[in-house]
Amino acid sequence: MKNYKTYFWLLLSVLLIFSCKEQVTDNSDHLPSWNDSSAKQSIINFVKDVTNEDSPTYVSPDDRIAVFDNDGTLWSEKPFYFQLFFAIDRVKELAPKHPDWKTTQPFKAVLENDMETLFSFGEHGLLELVMATHAGMTTDEFAQIVKNWIAKAKHPRFNRPFTDLVYQPMLELLGYLRANGFKTFIVSGGGIEFMRPWVEEVYGVPPEQVIGSSIKTKFEMRDGKPVLVRLPEIDFIDDKEGKPVGINKFIGRKPIAAFGNSDGDLQMLQWTAGGEGNRLMVYIHHTDAEREWAYDRKSSVGRLNKGLDEANQKGWTVVDMKKDWKVIYSWSE
């Protein structure tokens, strides 16, 4: 009987010891949607190196900052940035209140579903769309508008919610890094307040770890209640040279790992590479026309040209979506 008791306590102790241990990487595969490839291996090697306390390459958890572009890196970006679908839907919804839009560009093009004309107005035209559809309301109101849209809007190719077009291998990667003590940040050219209402649920990234482009806001009292009103005025463009600026402003230290897919991410990868010690720079290369899209040097959306050259030249990791990913989306084969 006493022996039995002893074994009981022994077992309990052992169980507790195991349940007590800090979450550490075991030998099981945290990246099951990744084929065994040099890309996968370079990621795993990097994580092992910076988390190994006995190694000179060890990095303390505080400094394990990983930054991720969003469009084309965490979710798809074709036929054009998903935020533009949102802006277009907003124009159509707001049109009854703006009869002049029927005859005024770029709104006319949107209302006539004439994408070719819309894009002919270039960045300036798109900016006008954003200002007309993203400003004028409070931040709380805008967050609700985004939530409503993301819950019901569907991607034209797959007829599925846009959030179904996040990459399963990247979700696994986010989780793998966090399980190894990394703080994961999104650093996107997309709107910061367009992302925050849904990225925590989808990517597990809290609002305070989302960096993006923004318009200005203004503090006001409305009926004794404080609000922030969104103004039709650019505050910050978090793209290209803006990405290191945004990282420095919001995070205040250099990342040790950076993930992007376009020339818009090049400076972020350069900034990350510029730090001392072990660094991981990764480009996601869109090579799978069948399961997703294939594009790089000549694409108008998500062009990867200079970045691909620099990655090859400097030995950065390039993920070949077609070869390296078993699955693109969680629901696809």
Which residues lie near a second copy (CB under 8 A)?
2-3, 5-6, 9-10, 12-13, 16-17, 19-20, 62, 65, 139, 183, 192-193, 196, 200, 206-210, 214, 216-219, 221, 225-228, 235, 241-242, 244-245, 248-253, 267, 270-271, 273-274
In the bound complex, what is the minimum distance in angstroms from residue 256's beta carbon to a second copy? 14
In the bound complex, what is the minimum distance in angstroms from residue 295's beta carbon to a second copy? 26
Virtual CA dihedral for 228, 234, 239, 244, nearest 10 degrees? -70
In the bound complex, what is the minimum distance in angstroms from residue 63's beta carbon to a second copy? 10
Residues 6+ positions from 291 with CB-CB distance below 8 Å? 321, 322, 328, 332
The SS3 assignment for 185 reads strand
The helix (H) or strand (E) run that includes residue 42 is helix 38-51
**Is the four-CA dihedral 249, 317, 25, 172 of positive or negative sign?**
positive
Instruction: Please identify, using beta-carbon distances, which residue of 107 and 149 lies nearer to a second copy.
Output: 149
Token couple for 37: 């490839």
Helices (H) and strands (E) in the chain, counts: 13, 9
In the bound complex, what is the minimum distance in angstroms from residue 226's beta carbon to a second copy? 4
Check: CB of residue 199 under 8 Å from CB of residue 186: yes
Instruction: Please identify, using beta-carbon distances, which residue of 196 and 286 lies nearer to a second copy.
Output: 196
Instruction: Please identify, using beta-carbon distances, which residue of 269 and 282 lies nearer to a second copy.
Output: 269
In the bound complex, what is the minimum distance in angstroms from residue 203's beta carbon to a second copy? 14
Instruction: Please identify, using beta-carbon distances, which residue of 31 and 228 lies nearer to a second copy.
Output: 228
Instruction: Please identify, using beta-carbon distances, which residue of 118 and 199 lies nearer to a second copy.
Output: 199
Compute the C-alpha angle 297/298/303, nearest 5°. 60
